[in-house]
Structure 1
Amino acid sequence: MEEDASPAELSRSQGFLKRHKILLIILSTGIILFGVLTLTLVLYTQDRGQIAKGVILEIPLGQLPIEEAHSKLKQLRNETYKRPVQFISGDKKFNISMEELGFTYSYDEPLRQASLIGREGTLFNKAISKYKASFGITFKPDYHWNDQVLTEALTKHLSTLNIPAEDAHFSINSDNSLQIILEKPGKQVDINSLITSIKKQALDEAQIISIPFSTVTPSLTKTVLENVKLNKHLSDYTTCFNPNQKERTLNIQLASKALDGLVLKPGGVFSFNNSVGPRTAEAGYQEAIIIEGNKFVPGLGGGVCQVSSTLYNAVLLASPSLNVIERSRHSLPIAYVPPGQDATVAYPTLDFKFRNDSNGYLLIRSSINNNTLLFSLVIFS
């Protein structure tokens, strides 16, 4: 005959069952919550082929399909390349496109990194990275400047702003005596400083950049010329022109006058383009016949090459005191000097240069008499 359980035993049994029931409830609830959480994370991180919310790469890309994001970025890049940067100096303005300035960029790698948000690692890692991105995350394209292209573009567009330094030189008086003219400092665009400014500011839309300049110091001063005396006549050379061709004659007069009285120090290099300057309408030059390619065509500054060619022949006669270091021939024969003895110039690409290898200062004299152009070269020491 079985004995009935004691009250204490019944109490312990009931307590165990109660604890077991609670444990089952907690375990079931945990499983359900884990399942709900897992399902939520699965749904939250489900790959729908879209960029995560909050991603910015130049523009907001959140929740855009990857291909659409790529298309929008490509369109924006094309617009950026065409966007002009404005450069100012006083009342002068220059617009140069970002593409011409040598600017390029790639968004492929940052877009790839952006597209991986919510797609890498464990389910929990995917959810965390996607959640953090929803508060905003910015990626930057890979920007690149081609310094050579940038320098060439700035030189091409801004070289007209350069003002060469003027060395002290002689002015010829009516009695053929010499008067010393004081030197003048010049200025030129500070390309290196400008490049630094461009890289800092050009990515801002509608950016206006002030053009910086550096001072160009004259290499020959009045003090030096006051102490030199006539020493030796090196050479003369004369060419003829048709004075009835008024525009061409005017151009010859302007260019030759710019050279009359110039002094080149020992070891110094003469540059025709630097000495005469740009042949522009503002400087008074007229349209006359020039050689372009293999054709005779009208062009600004026609006749200037006769000036450079006349001086070139005078320099040849002064060898070895003077030595030519840069000279180009015309593509067609010309009549004012013997074949092969011409020196064509075109600002700023084609120049005529020679070096003073004498021990003295070279004085360049030019004069026009009726239909002749004369260059005389004299050494002072």
Structure 2
Amino acid sequence: MEENAGTDILPLLNLLKRHKILLMISILTLLLGAFTLILYTWDRGQIAEGVVLEIPLGQLSIQEAQSKLEQLKHEISKRPVHFISDKKSFPISMEELGLTYNYQEPLQQAYLIGREGNFFNKAISKFRASWGITFRPNCQWSDQVLKATLTKHLADLNIPAEDAHFLINPDKTMQIVPEKIGKQVDFDSLIASVKKQSPNHVNPIPIPFQTVKPAITKIDLQNVKENGLLSNYTTSFDPNLKERTLNIKLAAKAIDGMLLKPGEVFSFNETVGPRTAEAGYQEAMIIEGSTFVPGLGGGICQVSSTLYNAVRLASPSLSVVERTRHSLPVTYVPPGQDATVAYPNLDFKFRNDSGSYLLIRSYVNYNTLNLSIYGKAKTQT
């Protein structure tokens, strides 16, 4: 019986021995796994392998990554964008175009990989990153800076439209110079194209243009000529008063060929401009208060008064907006039908109410001044 008892306990002892060995192996495996996990997640101050922020950052310290990214930021800011028009290139750096390039926030996010949560969370995030994870810098464009910079560099490409106009020949006849179509840079579309570009892969950008139509066409001027004379008025002067005669001719020349758009207000002072010696005006008698005194530009009130009477005759196609009488009677128009001017305070203004374009012609003969208005008469209602 004793021999059988010894034989029965031997397998049990062997089983316990095997369990003990397996337990020790399991504990060692767990300890080894834990040690490996600790080593894998050990913070060595480096960014996880597989992290990309414009460039690979794996195994770089945050200081090394900042240094490389700062160098890249500098290179990108100096990188030009090429704007193309008619095979000509206009390079402008991204820095001048107002690109804001910020990598700090995504760099901090990249640095936190493998550093948040427990050992398992750290290990999992670090392992996932090893397969590749990409962060993007924060890039923004300022519409205001873009508009200002593009305007500064590309405004010379704009070609303004030219209105059709009358050319006055030496014999006082007139010919029509046709209009010209203009063009201007479509800055809104150009800004949208810039904002679609990646700072790392900038393609040349064609410059878009918009057509600019002239306000006055050849047909408009032909209609003015066909409509014919609307009104005219003539006054006389003494040609022996040479200074006064010269002033009349200068002011009349400034008005001759003036074209008025429908609804436009004519200003004598804006059209003739300042009466200065540099402009060629000379001293002649003017009315100041209740006396006649010498003054620069004396005599041009005869031009404004002659024009005023032509405007009166063209009513209701024209309506007076601003008019002031002299303080003393003048001899070249009937009493109460004068219009005094003095730059810049006293002006003579009228509005084109005809609904079509009007042309002003001014003729100076030996001793007469004639103001004529051509266009379509306003229909009476």
TM-score bin (small chain): 0.5 to 0.7
Other-structure match for 2:81: 85
> In structure 2, which of residues 174, 190, 211 is the aligned counterpart of residue 215 of structure 1?
211
1:75 positional shift: 2.4
1:70 positional shift: 1.1
Counting only pairs closer than 5 Å after superposition, residues 283-298 of structure 1 correspond to structure 2 as none
Q: Is the 8 A contact 2:360 2:374 kept in 1?
A: no
Q: 2 CA distance for matches of 1:339 and 1:269?
A: 17
1:55 positional shift: 1.4
Between stretches 13-22 and 187-196, larger displacement belongs to: 13-22
Q: 1 CA distance for matches of 2:125 and 2:222?
A: 79
Other-structure match for 1:24: 20
Go from structure 1 to structure 2 and tell me whether the alpha carbon gap of 1:222 and 1:339 turns closer, same or farther (over 3 Å shift): closer
Per-residue Cα deviation, 1:290-338 (whole angstroms, up to 9, x for no partner): xxxxxxxxxxxxxxxxxxxxxxxx9xx9998799xxxxxxxxxxxxxx9
Q: Is the 8 A contact 1:58 1:140 kept in 2?
A: yes
Q: Is the 8 A contact 2:265 2:352 kept in 1?
A: no
Q: 1 CA distance for matches of 2:159 and 2:33?
A: 74
Q: Is the 8 A contact 1:106 1:141 kept in 2?
A: yes
Q: Is the 8 A contact 1:356 1:362 kept in 2?
A: no
Q: 2 CA distance for matches of 1:67 and 1:232?
A: 85
Q: Is the 8 A contact 1:168 1:263 kept in 2?
A: no
Q: In structure 2, what residue type is equivalent to 1:180?
A: I
Counting only pairs closer than 5 Å after superposition, residues 89-128 of structure 1 correspond to structure 2 as 89-128=85-124
Counting only pairs closer than 5 Å after superposition, residues 52-67 of structure 1 correspond to structure 2 as 52-67=48-63
1:203 aligns with 2:199: yes
Q: Is the 8 A contact 2:220 2:357 kept in 1?
A: no
Q: 1 CA distance for matches of 2:360 and 2:19?
A: 111
> In structure 1, which of residues 69, 74, 77 is the aligned counterpart of residue 70 of structure 2?
74
Q: In structure 2, what residue type is equivalent to 1:358?
A: N
Per-residue Cα deviation, 1:123-180 (whole angstroms, up to 9, x for no partner): 1221222122222221111111110110111111111111122233223344323333
Q: Is the 8 A contact 1:322 1:358 kept in 2?
A: no
Report the 3-state secondary structure (helix = DSSP H, G, I; strand = E; otherwise coil) of the residue aligned with 2:43: coil
Q: 1 CA distance for matches of 2:94 and 2:362?
A: 46
Other-structure match for 1:307: none
Q: In structure 2, what residue type is equivalent to 1:166?
A: E
Q: 2 CA distance for matches of 1:96 and 1:207?
A: 13
Instruction: Tell me the C-alpha RMSD between the 2 structures.
Output: 4.0
Go from structure 1 to structure 2 and tell me whether the alpha carbon gap of 1:120 and 1:238 turns closer, same or farther (over 3 Å shift): farther
Go from structure 1 to structure 2 and tell me whether the alpha carbon gap of 1:211 and 1:171 turns closer, same or farther (over 3 Å shift): same
Q: What is the TM-score normalised by the length of structure 2?
A: 0.62
Q: In structure 2, what residue type is equivalent to 1:62?
A: G
Q: In structure 1, what residue type is equivalent to 2:2?
A: D
Q: 1 CA distance for matches of 2:12 and 2:265?
A: 109
Go from structure 1 to structure 2 and tell me whether the alpha carbon gap of 1:43 and 1:264 turns closer, same or farther (over 3 Å shift): farther
Query: Radius of gyration: which is bigger?
Result: 2
Q: 2 CA distance for matches of 1:269 and 1:50?
A: 75
Go from structure 1 to structure 2 and tell me whether the alpha carbon gap of 1:26 and 1:266 turns closer, same or farther (over 3 Å shift): farther
Q: In structure 2, what residue type is equivalent to 1:89?
A: S
Q: Gapped runs of 5+ residues in structure 1?
A: 241-255, 271-313, 324-337, 342-354, 368-375
1:45 aligns with 2:41: yes
1:130 aligns with 2:122: no
Other-structure match for 2:357: 361
Q: Is the 8 A contact 2:180 2:214 kept in 1?
A: yes
Q: How many residues align?
A: 281
Counting only pairs closer than 5 Å after superposition, residues 361-380 of structure 1 correspond to structure 2 as 361=357, 363=359, 380=375
Go from structure 1 to structure 2 and tell me whether the alpha carbon gap of 1:161 and 1:41 turns closer, same or farther (over 3 Å shift): same
Q: In structure 1, what residue type is equivalent to 2:88?
A: K
Per-residue Cα deviation, 1:249-300 (whole angstroms, up to 9, x for no partner): xxxxxxx9xx996745224699xxxxxxxxxxxxxxxxxxxxxxxxxxxxxx
Per-residue Cα deviation, 1:27-77 (whole angstroms, up to 9, x for no partner): 211211111111112112111111112211122211111112112212221
Other-structure match for 1:308: none
Q: 2 CA distance for matches of 1:63 and 1:90?
A: 49
Go from structure 1 to structure 2 and tell me whether the alpha carbon gap of 1:192 and 1:260 turns closer, same or farther (over 3 Å shift): farther
Q: 2 CA distance for matches of 1:70 and 1:154?
A: 32
Q: Is the 8 A contact 2:47 2:58 kept in 1?
A: yes
